[in-house]
Amino acid sequence: MLTAWVAAAALLWAQSSGQDILFAAHTDLQGLYDESSQATLQFLTAEDVDQFHSVLCTPDWVFVDNAGKTHRWADARAEELRVLAAPRADAITQTIDKMALVTGGANTTVTRRTVRTIVDADGRYGPKGAQRSITETTLFRDTWVKSGEVWKQKSREQVGETKTGPTPSS
């Protein structure tokens, strides 16, 4: 009887410990997504983009686009600089939908929502020429590695097309 009780207690402790580890990792990574979203809204120069990438990502980081093509940072950087030159987003959020711990890191599925104010020249969302708030929603699968206490993103894969529509009213 005592052996069964000790085994049950050990199992509960292991499950609790595993949940604590998962919770801590989820909290750390969600914090990095939040920081990344806010930093992106504040980037002014190519140096800002490069510095943030070097802090958040591994040197061998890759992006896999919706067509399945892999891009190294040098290629993805050009797109980031193009976005930097475009009209700024009003808000960006990235929310972890799913997360799994793996040896040496974690895999996440994340929804990124970008809110922009546009002039709806074509009348796609109502009367032509009206100013509107639109939301772009994109799903990503990310791979993270952890060295000591530091998390770094190793890869980002876009899953499906970006969906664009009017921002719901609050």
> Rounded mean pLDDT of 56-71?
97
Task: Name the β-bridge partners of 170.
Answer: none
Task: Name the β-bridge partners of 112.
Answer: 94, 138
What is the distance between the alpha carbons of residues 136 and 88, in angstroms, rounded to a whole number? 13
- 6: alpha, beta or left? (left if phi > 0; alpha if psi -120 to 50): alpha
Domains along the chain?
A: 2-166 (3.10.450.50)
| DSSP 8-state class, residue 103 | T
pTM score: 0.85
129 has a pLDDT exceeding 50 = yes
Is residue 12 very low, low, confident or very high in pLDDT (cuts 50, 70, 90)?
Answer: very low
Q: What is the pLDDT of residues 33-42, one digit of tens each?
A: 999 999 999 9
> Rounded mean pLDDT of 22-49?
94
Q: What does DSSP say about strands 91-102 and 105-120: parallel, antiparallel, or unpaired?
A: antiparallel
Nearby residues of 84 by Cβ (< 8 Å), 6 or more positions away: 43, 44, 45, 46, 49
What is the distance between the alpha carbons of residues 21 and 34, in angstroms, rounded to a whole number? 20
The pLDDT score that the predictor gives to residue 19 is: 78
Residue 163 main-chain phi, psi, to 5 deg: -100, 130
